[in-house]
Chain A
Amino acid sequence: MNLKFSGTRALILGGSCGLALSLAEHMINAGLFPILTCRSEKSLDKISDRLKNFRGKYSTARLDFSDRATLASLFEQLDHDLDFLVDFVHGNFESLVASAGEDDVYRYFSENISFRAGVIKQAARIMLAKRRGRCIFISSSAAAKPNPGQGFYAAAKVASEVLYKNLGLELGERGITTVTLRPGYIDEGRGHEYLQSHGKEALEKVPTKKALSVKGFAETIMFYLSESAKDFNAVEIAVDGGLTAGK
């Protein structure tokens, strides 16, 4: 299928993770211009190393969900021009609900929900001026079926999903649409570590008995960004091989 895209400039939040980098390569090959955000100099180095063959075809920006000043500076850099947003950012916080430190909980929700609401607001306002925009939030199967210890992680994911869903509900008629993808096990980053230690037992619960590949999931995101998927709006889609479909 030859995918077509309405626009070129794509902001990728959490741009240094393996999935985001694979997505950036797909975007560049499709003629899009990704702008990858990350928190640190080290992550910037990781991006430039991985995308060294694509110089001039992407850009980077610093965005730290714990530092509000970086939000203003990112949107100054975007210069009122944005067509796509893909949001991979999500801090990890494993704790039993009954044992988490209160300060940690406040900080975690502030960074992963309130800050995100600020990013979505700014991006939506740029898109509103253009009367078009497509946002993809990368959630997790944990939003549907959290494991013990994932209560805060899942709560923040679900809250973020609702922010994106409402954006699509509120501004769909102005050409701004949203989709949430809930990937299951992915052989990358934290998923890779988990599969290393619990792979057999984890994949036993997946009807396809397979983890998602980075390349395959990046292609899925490209599809949902494309005109071919334009009628998907304000919806959460499980991309998990059937993991969350059954008991």
Chain B
Amino acid sequence: MNAEILDKIKEILAVILDVEKQGITAETYIIRSLGAESIDLLEVAVSLNSEFKVNITENDIFLIRLREQITEAEEQGRDTGKYLAKTLPFLPRSRIDEILKDLDGGPVLKVKDIVCYIDRAIK
């Protein structure tokens, strides 16, 4: 994982969500643990855009359509993991498997998902 990107994202989240940067790790849940709301995510997207000079698609970076995409895969009789690997190509397959096991706990978005998105967008 790109440590420089991770550090910058932690900084942005700490300022916008008014939390201690030290308390944020790559494994921190952004909505479930830090309590981010939709307006916070909008502000995070604007900051990421300005910091990294990349276009941000909010539906993708914040996994907003994840549950719809899972339903779509099921309705079409497709393998959910493979389907998500296609719709969310910035996430490693191992992370997608982790997400699929974690759905019952609430919103799955973690800091490392954003790092993956930015890392791919920069490249």
A128 to B46, CA, bound (A): 8
Restricting to B14-70, which residues have a CB under 8 Å from any CB of A?
39, 42-43, 46-47, 49-50
User: Measured between C-beta atoms, what is the minimum distance from B65 to chain A in Å?
Assistant: 19
- Pairwise interchain contact B50-A80, C-beta atoms closer than 8 A: yes
Using a CB–CB distance below 8 Å, which chain B residues touch chain A? 39, 42-43, 46-47, 49-50
Question: A128-B42, A170-B39 are known contacts; what are 5 more A-B pairs with Cβ within 8 Å?
Answer: A80-B50, A125-B46, A128-B43, A171-B39, A174-B39
Task: For B50, list chain A residues within 8 Å (CB).
Answer: 80, 129
Restricting to A107-131, which residues have a CB under 8 Å from any CB of B?
125, 128-129
Main secondary structure of the interface of A (DSSP, over half): helix
Using a CB–CB distance below 8 Å, which chain A residues touch chain B? 80, 125, 128-129, 170-171, 173-174
- Pairwise interchain contact A173-B39, C-beta atoms closer than 8 A: yes
User: Measured between C-beta atoms, what is the minimum distance from A79 to chain B in Å?
Assistant: 12
User: Measured between C-beta atoms, what is the minimum distance from A185 to chain B in Å?
Assistant: 39
Residue contacts A-B, CB under 8 angstroms, 12 given:
A80-B50, A125-B42, A125-B46, A128-B42, A128-B43, A129-B46, A129-B50, A170-B39, A171-B39, A173-B39, A174-B39, A174-B43
For the A-B complex, the count of residue pairs with Cβ-Cβ distances under 8 Å equals 15
Task: For B43, list chain A residues within 8 Å (CB).
Answer: 128, 174
User: Measured between C-beta atoms, what is the minimum distance from B93 to chain A in Å?
Assistant: 33
A129 to B43, CA, bound (A): 7
- Across the two chains, which residue of chain A brings its CB closest to B47? A129
Task: For A80, list chain B residues within 8 Å (CB).
Answer: 50
Task: For B46, list chain A residues within 8 Å (CB).
Answer: 125, 128-129
A128 to B43, CA, bound (A): 7
A173 to B42, CA, bound (A): 13
A9 to B46, CA, bound (A): 19
- Across the two chains, which residue of chain B brings its CB closest to A129? B46
A170 to B38, CA, bound (A): 10
A80 to B51, CA, bound (A): 12
A93 to B39, CA, bound (A): 36
- Across the two chains, which residue of chain B brings its CB closest to A130? B46
- Across the two chains, which residue of chain A brings its CB closest to B50? A129
User: Measured between C-beta atoms, what is the minimum distance from B110 to chain A in Å?
Assistant: 24
A174 to B42, CA, bound (A): 11
Task: For A173, list chain B residues within 8 Å (CB).
Answer: 39
